[in-house]
Amino acid sequence: MLGEAKGNTDMARGEHVVGADKESRPSPIDIHVGSRIRLRRTLLGMSQERLGEALGLTFQQVQKYERGVNRVGASRLFDLSRVLDVPISFFFDDLPESLASTYGGHLTRRTAGFSEMQDGFTDDALNRRETLELVRAYYRITDPAVRKRVFDLIKSMGPAET
């Protein structure tokens, strides 16, 4: 009996193990949330070790969250939003429409600001080192007026908005 229960529940923590009887694969939503954690941590120039320390975790646990292997619970998501200085909704921004509709349909993509997705612009572009370095350099500009001019310059160099 105990062996049967352990297949569906982690007895030590009293947590239900999702997919214990199936091949274990991360949920696409867990992968998305993990990629958003990694994106924000990287944009802040924070190591996995430093994030782990702030949350009382090891860097290996942070790695598992970022890969979507470990599901992020509500209290941990709250802690992550505080440490990474973003609203909880940040972790669900840019969720592909296919995932939003498959998993309830009530999640929507953010449609304003930097998280606006443009045609041909995917999360892969956000995870490129070049993009991260550009964003870090942008935020190192301390004068808000200069930063705004740089932003306007970059926008003017791209295709016209429709």
pLDDT digits (tens, 9 = 90+) for 17-62: 444 444 578 889 999 999 999 999 988 889 999 999 999 999 999 9
pTM equals 0.58
CATH number at residue 66: 1.10.260.40
Q: Quick one: tokens of 109?
A: 């993509």
Q: Return the DSSP state at 73.
A: P
- Reported as a pLDDT band with limits 50, 70 and 90, residue 139 is confident
**Residue 1 pLDDT level (bands cut at 50, 70, 90):** very low
Q: How confident is the model over 89-109, as pLDDT tens digits? A: 999 888 887 776 666 554 444
Asked if residues 49 and 42 have their Cβ atoms less than 8 Å apart, the reply is: no
C-alpha–C-alpha distance, residues 149 and 143, integer Å: 10
User: Is residue 18 domain-resident?
Assistant: no
Cα(50)–Cα(36) distance, rounded to whole angstroms? 17
pLDDT of residue 116: 42
User: What is the length of the chain?
Assistant: 162
3-state secondary structure 88-109: HHHHHCCCCHHHHHHCCCCCCC
Q: Is there a domain that residue 106 lies in?
A: yes
- pLDDT value of position 32: 92
| Assigned domain for 31 exists | yes
Whether residue 13 is contained in a domain is answered as: no
Number of domains the chain is built from: 2
